Structure 1
C-alpha cells in the first residue's frame, strides 16, 4: 500500500477518516488535509483513475497492514490438521468441552480430525458420538468425507467453512 508522498497521481478520489466521500481533489491538497488532521493519506487501489485514497489514522493503518500480513502468511502455510480424541462413553460436560475446542479450531481456519478410540465392541456408540458432534459443528465446518470406521478407531474430518 502506498501512502502520503509515495502517491504519484496528480489527483485522487478522497475519502475521509470515517469513510465519507470528499470528492476528487489534487494530491497536494489531500496531503495538506492529511497533515492538518494528523493522519496518513493511503491509496486503496491503483487500478482506477483517479485512484481512491482515504485519510487513515496511523495506528489503524499499521494494525490493518499487520492483520493483512498475518492472513496472507496463514494462507501460504495452509490449514493444519488438529486431532481431538474422545471416548465412546463420554460424559456430557466432557463432550461440551471437546465441542467448544473443535469450534475454536474451526473458526481459526484449521481442520479438525475427530477420533474415538475403541476398546471393545463399542463401534456403534462411537459412531453415534461422531455423528452427533458433526451435527453440532455443522455451522462452523463441513464434513470432508464420511465417517470412517476402522478396527481400532472411528474417525471423521471436518474442514472450516469458507
Structure 2
C-alpha cells in the first residue's frame, strides 16, 4: 500500500482538526502533522507572529517530516492539518512533494455554514494552539479562497464530524 498524504482544506473553524483527530483514531498507522502545533513548538509564546514566512517554515518542517516518514514506511496515512490550503500554490507544493516521494494524496475539503463557523469561533478554544482564530480571520480567508481544481471530496461539517466520517474514510481508502 502506498502512503497516502491527506490534505485537510477549509476555512478556519470548518472542522479540520476535529476531523484529523477522528481519522487518526480510525486509520491504521496514521500521523497527524498540525501546522498550528508545529508553529507553537518552533515559535513559542511571543515568538509566534502568524506571518506567511512563519507558516512556510512550519510547512517546510512538516513536509520534511512527511517525506522522512514516507521513505521509511513509518505511516500509512499522513494528515496535514492546520493550513487552510486556500491557495492553489499551497496545494501544488504538497502534491508535488508527495508524488516525488512516492506517496499518493487525497484532498478533503471541509465547509460549514457561516453561522456555524462564527459560533465555533465565538469563544476561546483552549484546545486550539492558534490564538489568531476569529470571525475576522474566517471572512478574510473566505474572501480570497481559491477554487480547488484537483480531485477532492467536499464535506459539510455544519452538523459535526460524525455524519461525514464514513464518507471520508471510504474515500481515503478508495
Q: Normalising by structure 2, report the TM-score.
A: 0.32
| Structure that is richer in strand per residue | 1
| Structure that is richer in helix per residue | 2
Larger Rg computed on CA atoms: 1
Structure number with higher relative contact order (C-alpha < 8 Å, ≥ 6 residues apart): 2
Q: Normalising by structure 1, report the TM-score.
A: 0.34
